[in-house]
Amino acid sequence: GGKTPLELLDTDAGTQQVDELLNKIEYGVYS
Q: Which residue range forms the structural domain that includes residue 13?
A: 1-25
Residue 13 lies in a domain: yes
Alpha helices in 1-31 (DSSP H): 5-8, 12-26
Number of domains the chain contains: 1
Work out the end-to-end distance of the chain between its first and last CA atoms, rounded to an integer number of angstroms. 22
Amino acid making up residue 5:
P
Averaged pLDDT, 23-27:
86
pTM: 0.46
> CB–CB of 9/18 below 8 Å?
yes
> CB–CB of 8/15 below 8 Å?
yes
pLDDT of residue 28: 82
Q: How far is 1 from 18, CA to CA, in rounded Å?
A: 13
Averaged pLDDT, 5-31:
79
Residue 14 lies in a domain: yes
pLDDT of residue 16: 87
Looking at every residue in the chain, the average pLDDT score rounds to 78
Residue 11 lies in a domain: yes
Averaged pLDDT, 6-28:
81
Using the predicted structure, report yes or no on whether residue 31 has a pLDDT greater than 70: no
> CB–CB of 7/18 below 8 Å?
no
